[in-house]
Amino acid sequence: MSTKLNEFGIEKTLKNLGISTENDGVSCGGKYFASGDLLESYSPNDGQLIATIKTANSSDYAAVIENAKSAFKEFRMIPAPKRGEIVRQFGIKLREYKDDLGKLVSYEMGKSLQEGLGEVQEMIDICDFAVGLSRQLHGYTMHSERPGHRMYEQYHPLGIVGIISAFNFPVAVWSWNTALAWICGNVTVWKPSEKTPLCAIACQNIISQVLKENNLPEGISNMLVGDHRIGEELVNDKNVALVSFTGSTKVGRIVGTNVAQRFGKSILELGGNNAIIITENADLNMSIIGAVFGAVGTAGQRCTSTRRLIIHESVYEDVKNRLVKAYGQLKIGNSLDESNHVGPLIDKDAVKQYQDSIEKCRQQGGKFVVEGGVLSGENYSSGCYVKPCIAEVENSYEIVQHETFAPILYLIKYKTLEEAIALQNGVPQGLSSAIMTQDLREAELFLSQVGSDCGIANVNIGTSGAEIGGAFGGEKETGGGRESGSDVWKYYMRRQTNTINYTDSLPLAQGIKFDL
């Protein structure tokens, strides 16, 4: 174990979460299917090797699917409120492990410690939501046009739900899907990001405790660390009724197509190119807070990160000057240090994309009012730290039309609210959006059918920080999927219409006669 891991208390954190870094592999509770190649997990904070683990191969995948199929036969027969009890116990365990899991999220992924802890809190919240929901999986009753008949609709579990998650929310997005899938009677197979495998192993260790304590099959919750080949097997497997994918639009297009070809179901949570409209009637103090956190939180690596600020011409210079001042106060450094506002990007590939985007912006006419760049020195030895930057642009620039997973904020000027809404909607993505205004008419227009075309539209809050109670997801190239709250549980179930004839005759619908 390295000195640095001891220095940050990571050794103790890993031990508490049931993870060992001995013998070139990771041991964890429950069955851990890993017969494939070795994978090294490094922290973007300091470049330190955290652990080397074995990945899953095709034979491991096949064994997991068989375990899941067997577990589903038992789990679907357990009443939904009893399944909710399992989720409740999982939520209790998460409360016990919140500090350790939040710290691991921060260290392995690079988001601030408070954001890491907040992500685990999202897991706890979705468990609480799912527990109540387990007693509310309602169907519908309707009147039949035939005498002596009763009609109703009910929902049944799908079977195996596959979850492919991204590095930026290494535990929360899995829990959004899993908590709902479980209370609906499904079992899950999770392929986490290869960039954050330890977070996933920790989660699997925690739920394995709950399943063991309740004498339930471990195949209810399955996790496979592997490369794109494991993801492809999951996507193309007819045994997997639903695939929930979080990632890029490019990969999501392939996932959606392949799942649809086999008539499976998919939930796609893809790219975002989120904007905040700041009107002439906005509270500028609130606007700056929302814009800065939205742009630099998680180092710009949220699908809901603020990418564009669309600012009314009358307040444009004021907003720009305030932003420049605010960015000058940002502290960048190790995400475990709570005094820092911005941690590192996930890896050097992300840094390269950040640099390429800045160069493209310059070439297309962008003018930087806060310069970017890669930080160097002892405190930035991992090579993953960059400066959040701001550029004045036109919405039509090619680079502005794309999502860059980095803290680059684009400023765009507008004259009328109708123009601002058109600019907001004038990108291929449609995830999150916001307007800052104290004018009720402006707010209502933004939320109307001619307003934002995004799946999320906020007033006087930023684009990031969605609550689990609402359905999360977007339109257009964001994929159209929904996760988390509201009635999203219906995605994880199959709908069935039932008609019962309680008479001694068989009248046909629409008065059709068929006498024998």
Domain boundaries, the chain: 3-270+482-495, 274-467
Say which of 108, 115, 122, 269 is annotated catalytic.
269
* Range with the poorest average pLDDT among 4-13, 280-289, 400-409: 4-13
Give me the half-sphere count of Cα atoms (radius 13 Å) on the Cβ side of residue 224. Answer: 32
Q: Is the pLDDT confidence value at 63 over 80?
A: yes
In angstroms, the CA 84 to CA 81 distance is 5
Distance of CA 174 to the CA centre of its chain: 8
Identify the CATH number of the domain defined by range 274-467. Answer: 3.40.309.10
Structure tokens belonging to residue 504: 């001694």
Beta bridge partners of 123: none
Per residue in 464-501, pLDDT tens? 978 999 999 999 999 999 999 999 999 999 999 999 99
Is residue 3 scored above 50 in pLDDT? yes
Sign, CA dihedral 72-73-74-76, equals: positive
Torsion over CA of 39, 43, 46 and 48, rounded to 10 degrees?
Answer: -30
- What's the average model confidence in pLDDT over 447-461? 98
C-alpha span between 512 and 503 (Å, rounded) = 17
Is the pLDDT score of 291 beyond 90?
A: yes
pLDDT at site 1: 42
What is the distance between the alpha carbons of residues 312 and 453, in angstroms, rounded to a whole number?
20
Reply yes or no on whether 269 is catalytic.
yes
* Least confident residue range of 31-40, 41-50, 365-374, 506-515: 506-515
| The one catalytic residue among 184, 203, 303, 454 | 303
Does residue 180 register a pLDDT over 90? yes
Q: Which residues pair with 435 in a beta bridge?
A: 277, 459
**Best CA proximity match to 96, nearest among 132, 62, 124, 56:** 124
Instruction: Assign a CATH topology to domain 3-270+482-495.
Output: Aldehyde Dehydrogenase; Chain A, domain 1 (3.40.605)
Give yes or no for residue 181 having a pLDDT over 50: yes
Rounded Cα gap, residues 15 and 202, in angstroms:
10
445 touches 435 (CB < 8 A):
no
* 312 has a pLDDT exceeding 50: yes
Instruction: Work out the burial of residue 263: count CB atoms within 10 Å of its CB; fewer than 13 is exposed, 13-18 middle, 19 or more buried.
Output: exposed
pTM of the model: 0.96
Contact criterion met (CB below 8 Å) for 237 and 255: no
Percent of the chain whose predicted confidence (pLDDT) is above 70 = 97
Scan for tokens 């205004």, then name that residue: 437
Residue 25 has pLDDT above 70, yes or no: no
Q: What pLDDT, in 10s, does the model give residues 79-114?
A: 999 999 999 999 999 999 999 999 999 999 999 999
Classify 187 as helix, strand or coil.
Answer: strand
What pLDDT, in 10s, does the model give residues 391-426?
999 999 999 999 999 999 999 999 999 999 999 999
Give the mean pLDDT of 193-201.
97
Assigned token pair, 390: 């701001």
- Phi, psi at 491, each rounded to 5°: -60, -30
Please give the Cα distance from 118 to 102 (Å, whole number).
8
Rounded to whole angstroms, what are the CA distances from 150 to 143, 144, 273, 497? 7, 6, 48, 11
As a whole number of Å, the CA-based R_g of the chain is 25
Pairing of strands 475-476, 367-370: unpaired
Q: Which residues in 272-426 belong to E strands, given as ranges?
A: 274-278, 306-312, 367-370, 389-392, 408-414
With cut-offs at 50, 70 and 90, classify the pLDDT of residue 30. Answer: low
